[in-house]
Amino acid sequence: MKKIISLLALTLLLSCKKEFIELTPESTASTDAVYKTNKDFQDAVVGIYSTFQVIYQSFWQFGDLAGDDTEQQHSAQLEFVNINNFLATSATPLVHTTWLDHYRVIFRANTVLSQIDKADPAIVIDKNRHIGEAKFLRALAYFNLVRVFGDVPLVAAPITIEEASKTSREKVDKIYDEIIIKDLQDAENKLPVKYSGTLVGKATKGAAKSLLAKVYLTRKDFANAETKLQEVTTLGYSLLPIYNDLFDYTKDEHHAEYIFDIEYIDGGLGLGSTFSNSFAPNLSGIINFFGLKGSGGQQGAPTLPIFSLFEGNDKRKGISVAKVADGLTSPNGQTIPLIPIDVTTYSKKYMTPLLTANDSKANWKVIRYADVLLMYAEALNETGKTDLALINLNLVRARAGLAPFSALTQDDTREKIYLERRLELHLEGHRWFDLVRTGRALAALQSLGMKPYMTVFPVPLSQIQVINNPAFFPQNPGYN
């Protein structure tokens, strides 16, 4: 998959200059001529994936920075400070680009789906797979949008600019029922269990089932979540024996725990991720120790409370959270002292040697098997199967070197699962979404500036101004 992306993504990324909400094709006149062969559709689907490469460079700001386990310590980066302190407005750049880029994904998926329906299966031999991938990616885009913005326009086919100007925001439940769930159900039926060769990294049956389960969990449909997650456990996934191997980028990222990543390619083409630089303190000792190029972005600093939540023998702590003042340990066991300047804490999860600054091979893990096991534990517990829930929770704890839980009440188990998600998935884009979907966001974040209406972000000012009809296309409450 990384090889396929490397052939096409640079051109596609550079071509994304349009604004508005990207509801119409960039070149509708040539669409029929372009989509003919199996490779035409394969290339078009890669174009959908490549837009997610852009989205996920910053999407952690919603999942992590808006939560309580990550903070922006370097005060010069105002946008990050505002997200961290619940000061985002409709003019915040992240809000604007997130909306546009997700609708760019949707427009590309809609274009593929509108064209492939009439394609000859004898020529487009992977027709079902292309449909499954496009629907999976469209569902992921809409899932992100409704979790970030709430009600958003529902667009399931290419439309004209005039039609777009008459498209209002639809209720979240309608988008779940008519697009997200149906797309994922179709995707799980059409996608293969696994790939080989250069196709490895594309969306699979397991990815569709896992995302569908997360959708059910978000909607508190625990019975359907339980069923879907049980199906995922039969598809051959397993936890890596060593937690740190998840973040060892000298090894293949497509391992037994891999379910779906946003794929990046290093090698000087500008198709790598920025994560290695973004999450590094701007200290020469750290830059040199990890073999980075360029400067540290000083973003995504762990908060001090998250340090104390790790048990003393938790094998995850050393790579998940670190204090600059503790220094580094060289391969021969010597301590390399560091002096904090702008940031005092950081995570080592995305550190890997680079050939070029901001061009890392580190993927973004959208769903991995530990996430599935913890979701499964949550669903089982909420349906009254606490003993079975503890079995799955303890699988994750055992890998971390921690003692198993037993004989807990349903309420105690629920809290243990919530805590385990914080520790296992720190700085992987989950915390804020977990707090919101479980109804705990205000209690956890009010002291940091959150107000009751801030379970969603403001709709971009650009969209409000384009439609220019508050009754038809309103701003989210509290952001006017």
Q: Residue 230: is its pLDDT beyond 90?
A: yes
Write the pLDDT tens digit of every residue in 115-150.
999 999 999 999 999 999 999 999 999 999 999 999
Q: Give me the residues paired with residue 402 across strands.
A: none
**Closest alpha carbon to 457 in 168, 146, 169:** 146
pLDDT digits (tens, 9 = 90+) for 38-58: 999 999 999 999 999 999 999
pLDDT reported for residue 281:
97
Assess whether pLDDT exceeds 80 at residue 317: yes
Query: 16 versus 212: which is more confidently predicted?
Result: 212
Q: Is the pLDDT score of 21 beyond 80?
A: no
Give the pLDDT of residue 19: 35
pLDDT band of residue 35 (cuts 50, 70, 90) is confident
Q: What is the pLDDT of residues 396-435, one digit of tens each?
A: 999 999 999 999 999 999 999 999 999 999 999 999 999 9
Relative to beta strand 258-262, strand 335-336 is unpaired
Is 16 a residue whose pLDDT tops 90?
A: no
CA 178 – CA 473 distance, rounded (Å): 20
First-to-last CA distance in the chain?
43
**Percent of the chain whose pLDDT exceeds 70:** 93
This prediction's pTM: 0.93
What pLDDT does residue 193 have?
98
pLDDT of residue 28: 41
Confidence of residue 3 (pLDDT cuts 50, 70, 90): low
- For the cut 90, the answer to whether the pLDDT of residue 162 exceeds it is no
What is the predicted pLDDT for the residue at 100?
96
Tell me how far apart the alpha carbons of residues 275 and 389 are, in angstroms, rounded to a whole number.
33
The two structure tokens encoding residue 96? 């604007």
The pLDDT of residue 13 is above 80: no
Percentage of residues of the chain with pLDDT beyond 90: 86
**pLDDT tens per residue across span 179-189:** 999 999 999 99
